[in-house]
Structure 1
């Protein structure tokens, strides 16, 4: 349809008139398309029209087409439409990749003993996917609560020491206000940290793994040393369980490594920059001043890399922080989500945000991992 008559769906043209002068309306499938001229700045325009479309069941965005301003509205869809096959396939692939990685922590060769490797390594897989999945589901549940369209978690399989590069969800809807931005940002780290504490506590009560003397003496053996953050050390101390052993053939149960993964992921996600959870939380707390904080993050990470290299003399961790320094520059450039309603956040949420960052610091260690040939 191409006309200036009001559409049956969506808000009336009269309600848009004060901020957007419409001169053409069309439908494109389920989309409602309004061509016109903004009469106010973009942030004020969206603050006015977004709730109007939302109450009619549409998500609206302002764009340009061939030099013309266009409001494009699509029906709000929350949750998956049918079976999310991509999510399922990636999850199954990550199960296999973490089983493969976990087998090495239990000192079982998955090539020569595939069945034994799967039967032995499943606690590690459950631990790693449990903490990662709980983190992302925290975001997903809170997104649904605030009516923001988001995908189910995408797990990322990768042949690394833990078998994965983590998991992500993708936000498809706009952020209505700072409260929603904060709740969605903070829910992942807090939910994931609860799962992490449970996984770590369970792992600490499990029997350590033992490697044979032949493996210890092999020229192909690589020693991996984990830097345990304060939170993990505190849990071990409270439970009276060791993290290191006098016998070099013994090491903590791999489920503890799953807890370590949860803490490491929590800290990384709370780095206060861009689309990371920390960036969302800081943006919700202090508004556009978040850009000043984000600008400092790369310098801090590069400084940390220099400290680890020159003072602690650990090259593996140095590379890690250099990579994250460059990643933080990219995240800072992209920036966090901008809420439609940018009003002040309440004090209780601000205090919860500060508490969450304190927990994040308890998950930090300057040398998370060191590989010794």
Structure 2
């Protein structure tokens, strides 16, 4: 049965609203007045529109290769999130046919993150160029604030464009485009986690074939370490293990494999994942200066074995 187009339109519109009003909706610290909603609309619409463009580009990166190979796929389902600082859980398409081989799987799987990676990088560079460095007052109580964490890419690009920035004394007043680029990179990185039915799972399975089943659980074990760094990854560990699965379902090999060009492009995408991955995506002000559980465990081990730091 073909998907109802009105469902896609309604979800798209609801996602626009949750993106635009993520800072005010259900926020007890902001008066729920018509004036404030108008203000937030004019402040946040660049974030909403730009992030929707990134998400749409990501899904078209899956949809168009699927149609090219004759694999039926739905239009994008955008996922609104009416609470939290981001306002969405991204978007998905539904593949309705069996994917014929690993080469087709690679092209469909890699297309989405490749498009959203390029768009997010461009948007982030423009957005951070329009952002401002502000001094943090020495008496500021950070406990009521949320902070977005850094990947290798966002940290060094910020230092390059706006730096040098000492984040103990300064903060970035982010332009809405910078926020859209940051969220686009985060969603791209999550999709590139190399497990199960995630895009990264499609890519790594297509590249290494059935032999990857010998070590993918070991890789998942290493990923569990990030659950000790930030609770976000504990949630994703749970989702991957119980819903998305660690291993990819069987897809037969292409007659001539995926080819050297696709393999090298897959390596590039996986390396890009390491560069844009954010160990601590959202940091509560109350835990800003506190060590992670991993840090606590390390200090406990050091104290137990009697090694001086």
Aligned-residue CA RMSD (Å): 3.0
Aligned residue runs from structure 1 range 1-373, under 5 A: 84-102=5-23, 109=30, 111-112=32-33, 113-158=36-81, 159-208=83-132, 222-240=144-162, 251-306=173-228, 308=229, 317=230, 319-330=231-242, 333=245, 335-343=247-255, 344-373=257-286
Structure 1: distance between partners of 2:241 and 2:128: 37
Displacement, 1:335? 4.3
CA shift, 1:169, in A, is 0.8
**Cα displacement string for residues 53-73 of structure 1 (whole angstroms, at most 9, x for unaligned residues):** xxxxxxxxxxxxxxxxxxxxx
Structure of greater Rg: 1
Larger proportion of strand: 1
Between Structure 1 and Structure 2, which shows a larger proportion of helix residues?
Answer: 2
Q: 1:204-245, CA deviations, whole angstroms, 9 ceiling, x for partnerless residues?
A: 12244989x9xx66x9x7211222111223433443467777
What SS does the aligned partner of 2:22 have? helix
- Cα-to-partner distance string for 1:161-202 (whole Å, 9 max, x where unaligned): 101111111110111222110011111111001110111022
CA shift, 1:328, in A, is: 2.1
Distance 1:249 1:333, change over 3 A: closer
Give aligned pairs, total.
277
Does the Cα contact within 8 Å between 1:177 and 1:341 map onto a contact in 2? yes
CA distance in 2, matches of 1:268, 1:368: 11
Counterpart of 1:117 in 2: which secondary structure?
helix
The alignment's TM-score, normalised by the length of structure 2, stands at 0.79
Q: Distance in 2 between matches of 1:368 and 1:203?
A: 18
Q: Label 1:101 to 1:110 Cα distance change in 2 as closer, same or farther (>3 A).
A: farther
Aligned to 1:312: none
Secondary structure at 1:101 match in 2: coil
Rounded to whole Å, the distance in 2 between the matches of 1:121 and 1:333 is: 36
Distance of aligned partners of 1:148 and 1:242 in 2 relative to their CA distance in 1, 3 Å threshold: farther
The answer to whether the 8 A contact 1:110-1:117 is kept is no
Query: Given the superposition, is the C-alpha separation of residues 247 and 253 from structure 1 closer, same or farther in structure 2, using an over 3 Å criterion?
Result: farther
In structure 1, distance between residues paired with 2:120 and 2:163: 17
CA contact (8 A) 2:133 2:170 kept: no
Moved more, 272-281 or 234-243: 234-243
Q: Once the two structures are superposed, what CA deviation does each residue of 1:326-373 show, in whole Å capped at 9, x if it has no partner? A: 222135647435435544221111111111100010011322221124
